[in-house]
Amino acid sequence: MSLWRHAARGLRALLNRSAADRDIGDEVEHYFDEAAAALETTGLSPEEARRVARLELGTVAVVREQVRAYGWENVVETTAADVRHGLRQLLRRPAYSIVAVLTLGLGIGASATIFSVVNPILFEALPYPDADKLMMVWDVQDGRRSDVTFGTYREVMARSRTFRSMAVVRPFHATLTGVAEPERFDGQYVSADYFRVLGVAPALGRDFHAADDRPGAPFVALISDSVWRRRFGGDRSIVGRQVLLEDTPVTVIGVMPATFENVLSPSAEIWSALQYDATLPTNGREWGHHLHMIGRLREGAGEEQAKRELEGIARTPDTAFSRPSWAALRNGFITTRLQDDLARAVRPALLAILGAVALLLTIACVNVTNLVLARGVERRTELMVRAALGASRLRLMRQLITEAVLLAIMGGLAGIALASLAVDVVIAFSPPELPRIAAIRVDGWVLMFAVALVTMIGFAVGIVPALYGSRADLRIEGRSTTDSRGREVGRRTLVVVQVAFALVLLAGAGLLLRSLQHLLAMPPGFEPRNVLTLQVQTAGRRFRDPNAAHQFFTAVLEAVRHVPGVSIAGATSQLPLTGDVDVWGVVFESSPPAADNDNREASRYAVAPGYFEAMGIPLRRGRLLNAQDDGSAPHVALISESVAKRRLPGVDAIGQRLRIGASPGWFTVVGIVGDVRQASLAIDPTDAVYVTNEQWTQFSDRARWLVVRGQSDPGVLMPAIRRAIESVDKGQPILRVATMDERVNASAAARRFALVLFQAFGVVALALASIGTYSLLSGSVTRRLREIAVRAVLGADRRSLLELVLREGMSLTVVGTLLGLGLAMLASRFLETMLFGVSRLDAVTYISVVALLALTSAIACWMPAWRASRLDPNAVLRAE
Amino acid sequence: METENTDLIQGTLDLLLLKTLSLEPMHGFGIARRVEQVSRGVFKVNPGSLLTALTRLERAGWLDSEWRDTANSRRAKYYTLTRSGRRQLEAETADWARRAAAVARILKAEA
């Protein structure tokens, strides 16, 4: 009740200040009248009585202010007054305000942008219930994480107690046929529990049952909300209907919710049951390393517990579960939280970029603090007058901090506007490794982050000038008081910090630039220039006959070879630098693996003749594959140099026989070709084995890459090539078109992503630091005009005046550079995992960066110095 | 501002004001003069604190106020104790008596 009265009275006072003021004024006046009247009764004259009353009680004005200051409404009022006054101050100096707001906007915008990228990947929980309980489990092959086999999954699922449920998935591609416009979808084969592990249920229809996942069960599928709307018009009767995938009837059993985000394969739009054989035939796909395994921990079980348990399972084989030698789990498992697993490839880059943007933001704040400090010098008179009129130090600090917060708020608004534009740009050139792209946007979290930043910045930028400014005191008037000297030291320190931080950012950018240069200089093992690549997917039932596929691709190659401008064309089942992995165990007849854990895996390439010539992969010994190596000829294979060196040391590889996977017969090695970087430029070449499509009989590759070497830039050939392919068969989707040069560049995308951001931040930081140095020196020259003029009159020549100012500026640069070098060397640790072929203490980088910074600083110092050397001493001294 | 003779103990001012107003409605100076007279000059209340305190008590609902015209055509604000103010006075008086007795006991024990 009393609270209500407080609110009501306060509000009334606030809304009708003049009435409230009149009341207070009248009451105080009356008080003084009465006091004087009382004194008159003791015999004083009216004038004397009033004088004595004032002596005893103070002035009417002071008492009125004291009474007026009571009540919550006054806090509101003084804040409003501070804001109004602050805005007037900012409007009075628009150039200053705009520079400050833009600088802060740049800093906040960059930070908010990076935060919006980093947050969903590193910090925000994945969009599943209890996402922390989701774990990825990997087999370990050759020291690296590898997909698990179905057999391993069966064993772990049966033996593990820490996992409540587990699932395995693998990607597939399928074309929707039997409709006017066939469309190719990315999809996933999943074990029945996949969606229950994630904790997501279909919005429409039902989830997979265990019965759907048995070999020979009727084909069923779940589709994504977008496919449902795009292809089936959002018709609810789709559930239970049959559609044709590759001409095979599949029953749609449900539709996933629109909000479902499938982090393991964001492009997947259709899901079908895995239907692997639980009896685990050793020569079947059940023992191939090609499944992602995901599990949900039981209530109360943690990551460490799961790791320990899985290690235990790996170490203690159980006779109830057979383990072939290649899936013997000798190296245990790699078990990580799903979120960490997703972020694994980009985490170091994201953290480094986050650190970089924090540096940039600091530089921006420091810059604005310096601006505010410089502005404070101009405003000394105003502050001193206010102090003289009775404003307390706290009151002045509040005013100055209010102004800084105002700047921060406007900067924050500019920053949010910048971020909402920049996020799209960042997404556009984000590397393919970046997960959860769909979740990257300026959302509530980002806004909260920005508000937190604005608050912090407001106080950070306001506190130093407020401490100096509020010391304004009538007594310390003069040109070089201790007060302004302290302020000067403060400003210099801030400039040194800017220079140092800018150097850290530039050094990071330099190291990344050199890494990228090294990376792109790595020989990929083929000749990427003028090579166009594209994937052709065969869709439809008739291609289930391997001969039909061979005939189709042979005809396509023949047609493409006749396109004017094409020199050579070949085909292959997998192509380097595409991210595809097709690795098989390779066994040599003569040298069975010495130990079972020897890595005997190699990338398998089923190629059409012309592939090596088109790619420019060099033949080292023997011969290449040709058209005579068809189905009826003796089976032959090429191996890469690394296979020859590692698997057949001291033996002539030509003529050796090998088996790929469970191939029914032996392949005779007829040639050795150069090593190729399959996975990435940064990863050493993988072992490779090549056979012809016709002699690869275990299955038919339904999607094949065409590799076309043009006489010049092959991009212009694409329309003609497309026409050539369609002349053979119009219905086969053409996918993933790119030149090999583009693939080489894409392979460096993650580093380039970090590099571009570091460069941008570095350039801005350099500019801000230079502006900081420049404005400090100009201020200093302005303040020292008289001193400089006196020196000039006393005979100092232009050169020595120039030196005087330059020395002042460059000494700051030197201190900042030394500090920055130390910091940069320390900070380079965080970049280490992203560097390639260059040490984190690379001398060339640091020397270049220091040179760049010195040059820019010299320019920033030169301008004020030049002004000092040119000034007319007489004019200055006369003005005094 | 002669507060040096006796600083009012925090919270005592409210009690004195409520007690003074329990006799009759009064304006600010009247209250100050009464407090000073009755305390025989021990307590002098400065107008800033007094009027602020009156505003506070009024907002707490313990006082009512009304404007009356004075002889020399000025306005005077008179304060009246409300019913809840009277209850508050009783409570504070009892509280004060308890404290005073306690302090007195301690002082006696010391001596």
pLDDT computed for residue A471 by the predictor = 66
Other C-beta atoms closer than 10 Å to the C-beta of A797 total: 11
Q: Is A47 exposed, middle or buried (0-12, 13-18, 19+ CB in 10 A)?
A: exposed
Report the C-alpha gap between A484 and A57 in whole angstroms: 39
Q: Is A262 exposed, middle or buried (0-12, 13-18, 19+ CB in 10 A)?
A: buried
Average pLDDT over residues B18-30: 91
Q: How many domains does chain A have?
A: 4
- Name every chain B residue with its beta carbon within 8 A of the beta carbon of A67: 48, 51-52, 55
Q: B37-66: per-residue pLDDT in tens?
A: 888 888 888 888 888 889 888 888 899 999
DSSP letter for each residue of A612-642? HHHHTPPEEEE----TT-STTSPPEEEEEHH
pLDDT computed for residue A596 by the predictor = 46
A229 in a structural domain: yes
Is the pLDDT at B71 greater than 70, yes or no?
yes
Give the pLDDT band of residue A431 (cuts 50, 70, 90): confident
Q: Which of A71, A88, A117 marks a domain boundary?
A: A71
Q: Which of A50, A71, A92 marks a domain boundary?
A: A71
A674 in a structural domain: yes
Among A577, A526, A565, residue whose Cα is nearest residue A708: A565
* Closest residue of chain A to B73, computed from CA coordinates: A30
pTM of the model: 0.77
Average pLDDT over residues A283-292: 79
CA distance B38 to chain A (A): 16
- β-sheet bridge partners, residue A244: A177, A249
CA distance A37 to chain B (A): 11
The overall average pLDDT reported for chain A is 87
Report the C-alpha gap between A630 and A693 in whole angstroms: 8
Q: Return the amino acid letter for A656.
A: Q
Give the pLDDT band of residue A874 (cuts 50, 70, 90): confident
Phi, psi of A528 (to 5 degrees): -75, -20
Which is more confident, B19 or B74? Answer: B19
A57·B47 Cβ contact <8 A: yes
In terms of C-beta distances under 8 Å and separation of at least 24 residues, what long-range contacts does A846-852 make, across chains too?
A846/A507, A846/A510, A846/A821, A848/A510, A849/A503, A849/A506, A849/A507, A849/A510, A849/A824, A850/A503, A850/A817, A850/A821, A852/A506, A852/A766
A110 in a structural domain: no
Q: A342-396: per-residue pLDDT in tens?
A: 998 888 889 999 999 999 999 999 999 988 888 877 777 777 777 777 677 787 8
Q: Is the domain of A320 the same as that of A373?
A: no
pLDDT computed for residue A680 by the predictor = 85
Helix (H, G, I), strand (E, B) or coil at A52: helix
Place of tokens 């302004």: A484
Q: Is the domain of A322 the same as that of A353?
A: no
Residue ranges of chain B whose CB lies within 8 Å of a chain A CB: 1-2, 27-30, 32-33, 46-49, 51-52, 55-56, 58-61, 70, 72, 74-77
Average pLDDT over residues A202-230: 94
CA distance A807 to chain B (A): 58
A71·B55 Cβ contact <8 A: yes
Which is more confident, A260 or A792? Answer: A260
Nearest CB to B75 within list A30, A38, A56? A30
Q: Is the domain of A218 the same as that of A152?
A: yes
Torsion of CA B52, B58, B61, B67, to 10 degrees: 180
What contacts A761, CB < 8 A, 6 or more positions away?
A: A110, A356, A357, A359, A360, A505, A509
Cβ–Cβ < 8 Å for A457, A408: yes
Is the pLDDT at A12 greater than 90, yes or no?
no
Phi, psi of B44 (to 5 degrees): -115, 125
Instruction: Flag the least confident range among A59-63, A522-526, A625-629, A673-677.
Output: A59-63
CA distance A394 to chain B (A): 21
pLDDT computed for residue A479 by the predictor = 45
Q: State which H helix or E strand residue A531 sits in.
A: strand A531-537
Q: Return the amino acid letter for A75.
A: V
pLDDT computed for residue B80 by the predictor = 93
Among A842, A847, A788, A854, residue whose Cα is nearest residue A816: A854
- Name every chain B residue with its beta carbon within 8 A of the beta carbon of A38: 29, 33
Q: Tell me how many residue pairs between chain A and chain B have CB atoms under 8 A apart.
A: 74
Cβ–Cβ < 8 Å for A769, A854: no
Is the pLDDT at A424 greater than 60, yes or no?
yes
Among B83, B67, B15, residue whose Cα is nearest residue B45: B15
Report the C-alpha gap between A386 and A378 in whole angstroms: 14
Q: Is the domain of A19 the same as that of A52?
A: yes
Q: Is the domain of A771 the same as that of A682?
A: no
Average pLDDT over residues A727-745: 85
Place of tokens 């009246």: B80
pLDDT computed for residue A107 by the predictor = 94
* Closest residue of chain B to A62, computed from CA coordinates: B48
A635 in a structural domain: yes
- Name every chain A residue with its beta carbon within 8 A of the beta carbon of B60: 2, 5
Q: Is the domain of A421 the same as that of A491?
A: yes
Is the pLDDT at A570 greater than 90, yes or no?
yes
- Name every chain B residue with its beta carbon within 8 A of the beta carbon of A31: 27-29, 32, 47, 51
Q: Is the domain of A208 the same as that of A257?
A: yes
A35 at B interface, C-beta within 8 A = yes
Q: Which domains does chain B have, with CATH numbers?
A: 12-110 (1.10.10.10)
Q: Is the domain of A709 the same as that of A764?
A: no
Q: Which of A18, A45, A71 marks a domain boundary?
A: A71
Among A284, A840, A732, residue whose Cα is nearest residue A514: A840
Q: Is B28 exposed, middle or buried (0-12, 13-18, 19+ CB in 10 A)?
A: buried
A741 in a structural domain: no
pLDDT computed for residue B9 by the predictor = 61
Is the pLDDT at A749 greater than 50, yes or no?
yes
Q: Is the domain of A482 the same as that of A362?
A: yes
* Closest residue of chain A to B52, computed from CA coordinates: A67
A341 in a structural domain: no
Q: A78-96: per-residue pLDDT in tens?
A: 888 888 888 888 888 888 8
Among A306, A48, A281, A278, residue whose Cα is nearest residue A168: A278
pLDDT computed for residue A484 by the predictor = 60
Q: A575-623: per-residue pLDDT in tens?
A: 999 878 788 888 888 866 554 446 678 899 999 989 999 999 999 999 9
Q: Is the domain of A376 the same as that of A515?
A: yes
A70·B76 Cβ contact <8 A: no
B47·A62 Cβ contact <8 A: no
Q: State which H helix or E strand residue A76 sits in.
A: helix A73-92
Q: Is the domain of A265 the same as that of A185?
A: yes
A138 in a structural domain: no
pLDDT computed for residue B10 by the predictor = 59
Q: State which H helix or E strand residue A293 sits in.
A: strand A292-297
Other C-beta atoms closer than 10 Å to the C-beta of A874 total: 11
Residues A492-530 as b or e (16 or more Cβ within 10 Å = b): bbbbbbbbbbbbbbbbbbbbbbbbbebbbebebbbebeb
Is the pLDDT at A715 greater than 60, yes or no?
yes
Report the C-alpha gap between A611 and A647 in whole angstroms: 24
Whole-angstrom CA distances from A880 to A156, A696, A754 are 89, 96, 55
- Name every chain A residue with its beta carbon within 8 A of the beta carbon of B46: 57-58
pLDDT computed for residue A138 by the predictor = 95
Is the pLDDT at B3 greater than 50, yes or no?
no
Strands A583-588 and A657-660: antiparallel
Q: Is the domain of A364 the same as that of A487?
A: yes
A117 in a structural domain: no
Range of the domain at A265: 144-330
Instruction: Flag the least confident range among A9-13, A424-428, A438-442.
Output: A9-13
pLDDT computed for residue A789 by the predictor = 86
Report the percentage of chain A scoring pLDDT > 70: 96
- Name every chain A residue with its beta carbon within 8 A of the beta carbon of B32: 31
Helix (H, G, I), strand (E, B) or coil at A88: helix
Is the pLDDT at A725 greater than 80, yes or no?
yes
Q: A481-503: per-residue pLDDT in tens?
A: 445 666 778 888 889 999 999 99
Q: Return the amino acid letter for A681.
A: L
pLDDT computed for residue A594 by the predictor = 54
